[in-house]
Amino acid sequence: MRPQALILGGCLALLFLSACAAGSVDSHYAAQAGPAQQFLLGVWHGLIAPVTLLVELIDKFVPKFLPWKVHMYETEGTGVFYDAGFYLGLAGGGPIVITRWPRRK
């Protein structure tokens, strides 16, 4: 693949990953929904936690560089369903990416 396509794909992936990050309005409303939505939101936030951490570090060391604020954990996601989903996503995110990553021969 061409390097430009990889860079563009990476930027688009980051944009899609940050669409429902903790701290956004959509995430706030989803966290106030039922148990199934809270669980799935927790799984999603756990899966994107490494990207969220990177965004938080950039925001901490280079203030006002990014136009949005993102948090690692949804403050409105109070409950056992969100917590269980978050930890499941956090534990399962790394192995999923590593085992699915294409290897060159």
- Tens of pLDDT, residue by residue over 35-59, are 888 888 888 888 888 878 888 888 8
Q: Is 64 left (phi over 0), alpha (psi -120 to 50) or beta?
A: left
Angle of the 49-61 helix axis to the 35-47 helix axis, nearest 10 = 60
For the chain, list residues with pLDDT below 50: none
Domain ranges across the chain:
3-100
**Sequence letter at residue 38:** Q
